[in-house]
């Protein structure tokens, strides 16, 4: 049922599921579509829908398919080149999905998103309404980044992050990310023969973030680092996330049956409210605030507002009302929130008691740098 926190033992009870499929899972090494794999994945997804589950598919592959159809020897390096390849490939990809899913009696719908749809609160809400309307009618939404018009969105790991944002928007129970990576390892398995697969993650520590490597195959654009970022979004939205290999036959069915495959990231005990979910994962981030250990403890353990006294340093420029990430002194992001002061003012008042702020600035509209009602804790 929607809203239940999912672990391996009750994966089969998940009602709303987001599945992200990477380019390397959908294509051969030549870059052309692997129809056998796509058919197998479509059959598994159709089976889930026939069980009464709601499934959203986030699909990579438009650029890779476009590159193959255009007969290019390699992936374009320029933004216009990538956009052209995406324009060609997106239609081919959707035609393939529509044809194969139709064989299993399923209706699909195309949804193309950009980060602009996430950073604007109204568009974020409209996206949710569209998804809900499609799911209510038994339609399988197929989502991709709108690479044809997006510029800054075409970068490593975009669809990993996109899938987590989509899962957060629709309040999914579980997010499954399939790629050529079988899960999170203790080290890079390509260079370390002693690397072991991590079956379960209950806390995404700074050590886990630092251990994540770069991009995987040359076909896709995602690596473990972007999957860890996706996991942070998912678990803080109360959503379980699984990373598994798309190479394994019937992997979706096996995961949903609770088989011990891949890596599962367990969610926080409580889901964020829709407004705070947008604040944390939809809003565009600006700058950075670093706080001392005492302030970190107050934020996490007592749910306090952020005061100027606990700020150690401020990085980059931002204005009043920006959504700014908060880091501890060890480099771990612990929270995000809407600031009541701009970066220049914070540089002046960092480390000062609230009683000293007005004297220095000549005004003090707020006691708090970030009020707790406008802040999301991420640890």
State phi, psi for 78 to the nearest 5 degrees. -95, 155
What is the predicted pLDDT for the residue at 148?
Answer: 65
CATH number of 8-276: 3.40.1160.10
Coil, strand or helix: which one is 14? coil
- Report domain extents, the chain: 8-276, 285-377
Coil, strand or helix: which one is 214? coil
Token duo for residue 81: 């080149």
pTM: 0.82
State phi, psi for 8 to the nearest 5 degrees. -60, -35
Question: Exposure string (b/e) for 179-203, b if CB count within 10 Å is 16 or more?
Answer: bbbbbbbeeebeeeeeeeebeebee
Q: Architecture of domain 285-377 in CATH?
A: Roll (2.30)
| Cα separations in angstroms, 335 against 277, 284, 285, 374 | 12, 14, 12, 11
State phi, psi for 27 to the nearest 5 degrees. -125, 160
What gap in Å lies between CA 13 and CA 10, rounded to an integer?
A: 5
Coil, strand or helix: which one is 252? helix
Could you give the angle at which helices 62-70 and 79-103 cross, rounded to 10 degrees?
A: 100
Question: What averages of pLDDT result for each successive group of 10 residues across the chain (379 residues)?
Answer: 74 96 88 92 97 96 91 89 91 96 97 78 87 97 79 56 91 93 84 87 85 49 77 90 93 95 88 74 88 96 95 96 94 93 94 87 84 90
**Parallel, antiparallel or unpaired: strands 263-265 and 240-245:** antiparallel
Question: In the 3-class helix/strand/coil scheme, how is 153-195 assigned residue by residue?
Answer: CCCCCHHHHHHHHHHHHCCCCEEEEEECCCCCECCCCCCCCCC
Query: How many CB atoms lie under 10 A from the CB of residue 210?
Result: 11
What gap in Å lies between CA 167 and CA 176, rounded to an integer?
A: 10
Contact 57, 140 (CB under 8 A): yes
Residue written as token pair 């654009």:
221
Token duo for residue 364: 């003090």
- Nearest-Å Rg of the Cα atoms of the chain is 22
What gap in Å lies between CA 123 and CA 284, rounded to an integer?
A: 13
Instruction: Using alpha carbons, select from 143, 181, 178, 160 the residue that is nearest to residue 251.
Output: 178
CA dihedral 234, 18, 264, 225 (to 10 degrees): -60
CA dihedral 43, 182, 270, 47 (to 10 degrees): 10
β partners of residue 174: 17, 240
What gap in Å lies between CA 348 and CA 308, rounded to an integer?
A: 10
State phi, psi for 309 to the nearest 5 degrees. -60, -30
Question: In the 3-class helix/strand/coil scheme, how is 45-113 assigned residue by residue?
Answer: HHHHHHCCCEEEEEECCHHHHHHHHHCCCCCCCCHHHHHHHHHHHHHHHHHHHHHHHHHCCCCEEEEEE
What is the predicted pLDDT for the residue at 55?
Answer: 98
Contact 141, 134 (CB under 8 A): yes
Residue written as token pair 């692997």:
34
């Amino acid at each position: 049922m929607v809203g239940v926190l999912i672990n391996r033992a009750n994966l089969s009870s998940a009602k709303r599921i987001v599945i992200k499929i990477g380019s390397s899972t959908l294509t051969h090494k030549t870059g052309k579509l692997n129809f056998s794999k796509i058919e197998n994945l479509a059959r598994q997804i159709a089976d889930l829908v026939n069980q009464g589950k709601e499934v959203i598919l986030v699909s990579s592959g438009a650029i890779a398919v476009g590159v193959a159809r255009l007969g290019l020897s390699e992936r374009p390096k320029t933004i216009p080149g990538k956009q052209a390849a995406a324009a060609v490939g997106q239609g081919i990809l959707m035609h393939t999905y529509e044809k194969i899913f139709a064989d299993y009696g399923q209706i699909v719908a195309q949804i193309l998103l950009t980060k602009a749809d996430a950073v604007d609160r109204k568009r974020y809400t409209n996206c949710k309404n569209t998804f809900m309307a499609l799911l209510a009618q038994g339609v399988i939404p197929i989502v991709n980044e709108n690479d044809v018009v997006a510029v800054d969105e075409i970068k490593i790991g975009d669809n990993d992050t996109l899938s987590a944002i989509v899962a957060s928007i629709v309040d999914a129970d579980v997010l499954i990310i399939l790629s050529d990576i079988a899960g999170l390892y203790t080290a890079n398995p390509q260079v370390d023969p002693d690397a072991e697969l991590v079956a379960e993650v209950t806390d995404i520590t700074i050590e886990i973030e630092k251990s994540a490597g770069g991009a995987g195959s040359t076909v896709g654009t995602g690596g473990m680092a972007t999957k860890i970022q996706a996991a942070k979004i998912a678990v803080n939205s109360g959503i379980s996330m699984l990373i598994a290999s798309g190479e394994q036959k019937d992997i979706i069915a096996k995961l949903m049956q609770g088989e011990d495959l891949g890596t599962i990231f367990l969610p926080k005990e409580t889901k964020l409210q829709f407004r705070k979910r947008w604040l944390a994962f939809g809003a565009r981030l600006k700058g950075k605030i670093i706080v001392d250990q005492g302030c970190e403890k107050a934020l996490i353990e007592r749910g306090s507002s952020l005061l100027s006294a606990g700020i150690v340093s401020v990085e980059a420029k931002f204005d009043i009302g920006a959504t700014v990430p908060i880091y501890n002194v060890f480099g771990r992001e612990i929270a995000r929130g809407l600031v009541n002061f701009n970066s220049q003012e914070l540089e002046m008042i960092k480390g000062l008691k609230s009683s000293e702020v007005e004297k220095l600035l000549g005004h003090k509209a707020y006691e708090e740098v970030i009020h707790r009602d406008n802040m999301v804790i991420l640890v």
